[in-house]
Structure 1
């Protein structure tokens, strides 16, 4: 894995330098630098606006009691887009703008979720109010009480637990 990352970063850097030098020799240094700064500014604006939309979608899914997996993956992808767009170069800007396109980002997010669905925690819902929290899931959970346990019949909203009182003056357990 480390070797692949090293190869990826080295190859990406070499490709980026080659493209920058080629375009710089055609357009001139000033225009090339201007285009890079312009794409960084435009990209950061677009990432910010789409990030706000993604957070709003995430909040709506949470309010509906649904797992926001798609929105979380898209949020991470937007973070990567921001890094790509701020990194000087045409190749990184092109990749960043490509992933910034909502349709492409949505499809990539779905593909990533499908690829790693076995490693993701089963979708579940946690709701809470003044009476306490409620857990529901379509899958069994290691946190659920076993059948026949003394706590499984209770559903009065109380949370049972043990406590230890500490005397503040001499820090001794009582």
Structure 2
């Protein structure tokens, strides 16, 4: 029997996270058990972005680079990311609070040019309701509502990859 320590946490959780859920309220109960303040609207489960729990959306390709970099740092046990199976899909990172100063207009414009969006307080984030990637699904499931990278970390890594791709394009 293989050691569970060698299996990624999301693989273990992904098998049973919603297996026994038959309604949005049961799915919401699972998320609340992880510490998320979720709501049910129109038969769907969502959370509302706040200053302490937010989301950063970006193209899937950039998101994969950001995730790999954050995993290499090995500070993060879990990097909660959700997505939707469609062309031009985004990865939505659930993030903790930002630290440091407010982002400048130039930085926000640079991020938006590359398809990076920062969900502000009050904006809704629809959460997966099944373990199957037929709608919104977890690319990487959360362990709880406290263990996630800060918004600042995710944005800083995204900016690093954006800058390196712009530099590479300038040399072509």
Q: Same fold (TM over 0.5)?
A: no
Kindly indicate whether structure 1 or structure 2 has the higher relative contact order, using CA contacts under 8 Å at least 6 residues apart: 2
- Structure with more of its chain in strand, by fraction: 2
TM-score by length of 1: 0.31
TM-score by length of 2: 0.31
> Rg bigger for which structure?
1
